[in-house]
A and B are shown apart, each in its own frame.
Chain A
Amino acid sequence: MRRRDLLSAAIAGAAGLAAPAVLGQASAARVLRIVPQANLTSLDPIWTTATITRTHAYLVYDTLAGMDSSFQPRPQMAQGWTIEEDGRVYTFTLRDGLRFHNGEKVTARDVVASIKRWWARDGFGQEIAKRHAALVALDDRRLRLTLQKPFVLTLKALGKANASPCFVMPERVANTDPHTQITSAIGSGPYRFVREEWNPGSRVVYARFDGYVPRQEPTDWTAGAKLGNAERMEWHIIPDPATAGAALQSGKVDFWEIPLHDLLPVLRRNRNIEVVVRDPIGSVGMLRFNHLVAPFDNPALRRALRLAVDQENYLRAVVGDDPGMYATSHSFWSRGSPMHTEEGSEPLRVKSLDRARAALRGAGYAEQRVVQLHASDFPTLAALSQVTADLLRRLDVNLEFVAIDWGTVVQRRASREPIDRGGWNIFHTTWSGPDWFDSASTLAMRANGTEAWFGWPTSKRMEALREQWFEAPNEPEQKRIATEIQREAFRIVPHIPLGHFLSPSAHRRNVTGVIKSPIVLFYNMSKSA
């Protein structure tokens, strides 16, 4: 028993209140207190791609299909499916007993409406949308998707687990315009959102949904059983890492999703705390160029800078000296992905300032100003950005280092103006591993000019290869095309990959059932008294 509990019990005992204190301890064991990575601001996982909203959604909603650790789609809300007419017709049958949190039965109409809202926004979903001929509910439990031509990735898309999975909502909610935020949070997942206790920026509360019927298979990423082991789940939003660390150490919270790397040694020394690598794939860092604005509109300059990059410097700046927490990856696809390859990556292994300096001069760099956006309020991004700034200065690049908050970075990175009118040349960000798995998920590998993700690279070949990848009949062929895409990426350099790093979680030792997955999943966890 901790000193504070002892003192409290003594005070309560003296006042004749010992019994409620014991009862309080028992009920506390049923409540799991979590410090999530960020504040939950939006409840709509289709409207925003924010990770925290997806984490919320995996508690509240369920999906037609899930994704297991071998990257295969598995039935989730679906009892099963049949594929007919050479892969053109998919018929899904829903599991019996599915209910929304308001008690209504989940029907095929709800699923159809949810898929339609999802594919209006999600890039992978749009690949199905443009190939589909019809999507209809056959009856309460069956729905049919008919495609114009076979698309082997259909189930993977429906079961995708990274940004914007296809969550199922009640039909009347799913009929909301995809560009308008929904305010409802009624799903059919293992936990119910307790709206009346939601205090944005402070606390989010979930209660176990007793009407949820989990699958019988073991939990495997977003597939298999989803168990509401904790009766109640409270998210405590603690933006200050030192305070969050202190709260975990003193037992005020049970689980901290992403502790600051600097605090890990302190947490590891505490015998009541376990530090776990929950996400075996980790995150990837990126140095993103603006392809529309000089001087990095010149591909030769982008290629030149790449020669000086040493991923290890970046990774150590982020996670410190523990080699178990990072891994270099000279690839545009994340480690763990079937598409991962290091072919064509030789220029990223050169790590020579002299060669980079010579290449910059050879490519015509003449001390033009380079504007680098630096998100000073994000420790990870700030670390990556500072390494690049140091590199650029050592390469005698005329650098303007713009230190601003992330809110300003996301605005300014949308500017396509020249740098003297508020534009930019370089910024950094990180992605979760699954966001770099393949052509379907890797938004930053689009190269369709002004339609592409911020930075707007252009490569007709890369776009054509992407189309071929979607049409590939099997995984070996996909891998071959992904390798070709990577070769093209090393030629045009849409960005520079900065390697993988792990972001462990920390929890009290009495917490069990933590799901190891690249997707943050809080169901299944429980806590003993």
Chain B
Amino acid sequence: MLAYVVRRILATIPVMLVVALVVFSMLMLAPGDPAAVIAGDQATPQDVERIRQALGLDRPFFVQFADFLWRLLHLDLGTSIFTNLPVTHMIAQRIEPTLALMVLTIVLAVSVAVPLGVVAAWKAGSWIDRGVMLFAVFGFSVPVFVVGYLLAYFFALEWELLPVQGYTPLGEGFLPFLENLILPAIALGTVYIALIARITRATMLEVLAQDYIRTAKAKGLGTRPILFLHGLKNAAVPISTVVGIGIALLIGGAVVTESVFAIPGLGRLTVDAILRRDYPVIQGVVLLFSFVYVLINLLIDLLYTLFDPRIRY
């Protein structure tokens, strides 16, 4: 097991290198010029060229890439070419809101979607099942920003129950923290709830048709133990896989949600950096997201052994 974990962690190094190369190449090949953005609309072409030289953006691709890799090897993500602040500092400033939003969304989604999926499977064909599936279709079909605007309109503007934007750190109190994050978490979690609920329902339907469930029923076991102890535990592997895969959805969704609710997180940082062509920041954030994604997949793989003792590494 330990050897497997070490092997998987070591395997992330070439993965990250490939990510670094791909990200760097895409940025260099993509149109856009940070020097022109920096200089402002009233700069002359000569001003833009001088700034490009000062930033080293006129150097050949491989020289810039080698420089980037060298810094990366020293765990230095570089400095933002706009703010002159270290990328690590900018990421550190933004990581808490994004992390909090994602954790809250996952907790919310799993705690809502799994029971919904289980109940839908248990009452397959009933109005409850149809209701859950209708919600799932809604969750898949309506974009995150539409859900976000609707929530903001009703809960913040019409009913004045929750703030419309911003973020309060956890250190300043749990209630204000939750007040600011609950609407974004619902907006972001809608598609995630739909996904997990559907998978839970489908997997549970399969599990509930198994012989051992019939035997449990025949032995007189109650509905709750059958559903949650025998049924859900056996359905947990595909559900946890979807939860893991869904992290990618969350990362993409966080970019939109953070913009709609003006949360100063990594998603907003990424969008701003892309619009300005702030290469070091884009590289840093994408590398971080890739690393998190690889790490979460590893954790999910390890979780399998908890749900199914037959799985060994």
Task: Write the residues of chain A forming the contact surface with B, with a CB cutoff of 8 angstroms.
Answer: 2-4, 7, 11, 39, 41-42, 47-51, 53, 121, 163-164, 179-181, 183, 199-203, 236-240, 242-244, 246-247, 249-250, 252, 377, 404-408, 410-414, 429, 431, 435, 443, 450-454
Q: Compute how far the CA of A452 lies from the CA of B46 in the bound complex, rounded to whole angstroms.
A: 9
Bound form: Cα–Cα A53–B37 in Å? 13
Which of A42, A183, A238, A407 has the most chain B CB atoms closer than 10 A to its own CB?
A407
Q: Could you tell me if A414 and B48 are in contact, using CB atoms closer than 8 angstroms?
A: yes
Q: Given the known inter-chain contacts A41-B83, A203-B264, A407-B277, please indicate yes or no for A414 contacting B33, CB distance below 8 A.
A: yes
* Given contact pairs A201-B268, A252-B165, A247 touches B262 in the complex (Cβ within 8 A): yes
Q: Kindly provide the distance from the CB of A345 to the nearest chain B CB, expressed in whole angstroms.
A: 24
Query: Which one of B44, B48, B80, B94 has the greatest number of beta carbons of chain A within 10 Å?
Result: B44
Question: Using an 8 Å CB-CB cutoff, how does the interface string of B163-177 with A read, 1 for contact, 0 for none?
Answer: 111100000000100
Across the interface, which residues of A come within 8 angstroms of B221, CB to CB?
Answer: none
Say how far B296's CB is from chain A's closest CB, in angstroms: 25
Contact B42 A49 (CB under 8 A): yes
Least CB distance from B163 to A in Å reads: 6
Please, which residues of chain A bring their CB within 8 A of the CB of B277?
A: 407, 411
Closest to B33 in A: A411
Q: Which residues of A contact B94 (CB under 8 A)?
A: 199, 202
Nearest-Cβ distance from residue B59 to partner chain A, whole angstroms:
17
Could you tell me if A202 and B264 are in contact, using CB atoms closer than 8 angstroms?
Answer: yes
Question: Judging by beta carbons under 8 Å apart, are A179 and B51 in contact?
Answer: yes
A-side contacts of B260, CB under 8 Å = 240, 242-243
Q: List chain B residues, Cβ under 8 A from A252.
A: 163-166
Extra 13 A-B pairs, beta carbons < 8 Å, given A252-B166, A410-B37, A410-B41: A49-B39, A51-B40, A53-B40, A183-B84, A201-B272, A237-B262, A242-B260, A243-B261, A250-B163, A406-B37, A407-B275, A435-B42, A452-B44
5 residue pairs, one from A and one from B, having the closest CB atoms: A202-B264, A411-B33, A49-B40, A41-B82, A410-B36
- Determine if B32 is an interface residue (Cβ-Cβ < 8 Å): yes
Determine the distance from Cα of A4 to Cα of B160 in the docked complex, in whole angstroms: 5
Shortest Cβ distance from residue B38 to the other chain A in the assembled complex, whole angstroms: 6
Complex Cα distance, B264 from A242, in Å, reads: 17
Residue of chain B at shortest CB distance from A203: B264
B93 close to A199 (CB less than 8 A)? yes
Closest residue of chain B to A253 (Cβ to Cβ) is: B165
Given the contacts A202-B268, A247-B165, A407 and B40 also touching, CB distance less than 8 Å: no
Measured CB to CB, the nearest residue on chain B to A404 is: B31
Residue of B nearest to A201 (CB): B272
Chain A residues near B153: list those with CB within 8 A: 246
Residues in A whose Cβ lies below 8 Å from that of B37: 406-407, 410
- Chain B interface secondary structure, helix, strand, loop or mixed? helix
Hey, which chain B residues are within 8 Å of A377, CB to CB?
Answer: 275
The closest CB in chain A to the CB of B274 belongs to A407
User: Which residues of the partner chain B approach A407 to less than 8 Å between Cβ atoms?
Assistant: 32-34, 36-37, 274-277
Cα distance A250–B152 in the bound complex, in angstroms: 11
Q: Complex formed: what's the CA distance from A143 to B136 in Å? A: 73
Chain A nearest Cβ from B230, distance in angstroms? 43
Residues of B with C-beta under 8 A to A431: 41-42
Closest B residue, CB atoms, query A54? B40
Is residue B157 contacting chain A, with contact meaning CB distance below 8 A?
yes
The reply to whether B36 and A411 contact each other, CB–CB distance below 8 Å, is: yes
Q: Do the beta carbons of B164 and A250 come within 8 Å of each other? A: yes
Within the complex, which residue of B85, B164, B275 is in contact with A246, where a contact is CB–CB below 8 Å?
Answer: B164
Asked whether B178 is an interface residue with its Cβ less than 8 Å from the other chain, the reply is no
Q: Is the CB of B164 within 8 A of A411?
A: no
B116 within 8 A of A: no
Question: Cβ of A200 and Cβ of B31 under 8 Å apart?
Answer: no
Does any Cβ of A come within 8 Å of B149's Cβ?
A: yes
A3 touches B160 (CB 8 A): yes
- Counting CB contacts under 8 A, is B242 at the interface? no
What CA separation (Å) do A175 and B260 show in the bound complex? 42
Give 28 pairs: A residue, B residue, CB < 8 Å, sorted on A.
Answer: A3-B160, A4-B162, A4-B163, A39-B272, A41-B82, A41-B276, A42-B38, A42-B82, A48-B39, A49-B43, A51-B40, A53-B40, A164-B42, A179-B54, A200-B80, A201-B268, A201-B272, A202-B262, A240-B259, A242-B260, A246-B165, A250-B163, A407-B33, A407-B274, A410-B33, A411-B33, A413-B36, A451-B46
Q: Are B156 and A405 in contact (CB under 8 A)?
A: no
Residues on A with C-beta less than 8 A from B268 are 201-202, 239
Closest Cβ of chain A to B257, distance in Å, is: 11
A23 to B264, CA, bound (A): 26
Task: Looking at the assembled complex, report how far the CB atom of A409 sits from the nearest CB atom of chain B, in whole angstroms.
Answer: 9
Interface pair B269/A201, CB less than 8 Å apart: yes
Residues on B with beta carbons closer than 8 Å to the beta carbon of A39: 272
Q: Are A236 and B42 in contact (CB under 8 A)?
A: no
Min C-beta distance of B146 to chain A, whole Å: 11
Write the nearest CB–CB distance from A166 to chain B, whole angstroms.
15
CA A51 to CA B40, docked complex, whole Å: 8
**Chain A CB within 10 A, most for which of B41, B149, B153, B156:** B41
Query: Least Cβ distance of A447 to chain B in Å?
Result: 13
Asked if B90 CB lies within 8 Å of chain A CBs, one says yes
Contact A406 B275 (CB under 8 A): yes
User: Which of B32, B162, B163 is most buried by chain A, counting CB atoms within 10 A of its CB?
Assistant: B32
**Cβ of B149 and Cβ of A242 under 8 Å apart?**
yes
Give CA–CA (A48, B156) in the complex, Å.
38
Q: Which residues of A contact B161 (CB under 8 A)?
A: 3-4, 7
Task: Tell whether B50 is near chain A: CB-to-CB under 8 Å.
Answer: yes
Residues of A within 8 A of B313 (CB): none
Return B34 CB to nearest CB of chain A, in Å.
Answer: 8
Interface membership of B159, Cβ < 8 A: yes
Q: How does the 8 Å CB contact mask read for B24-62 relative to A, with 1 for contact and 0 for none?
A: 000000011110111111111111101100100000000
Taking the closest CB of chain B, its distance from the CB of A174, in whole angstroms, is 17
Q: Hey, which chain A residues are within 8 Å of B159, CB to CB?
A: 3
Partner among A239, A246, A450 whose Cβ is within 8 Å of the Cβ of B156: A246
B157 touches A246 (CB 8 A): yes
Instruction: Output the residue of B40, B84, B272 with the most chain A CB within 10 A.
Output: B40
Contacts A48-B38, A250-B164, A408-B32; is A451 near B44 (CB within 8 Å)?
yes
Chain B residue contacts of A249, Cβ below 8 A: 157
Distance between A9 CB and nearest chain B CB, rounded to angstroms: 13
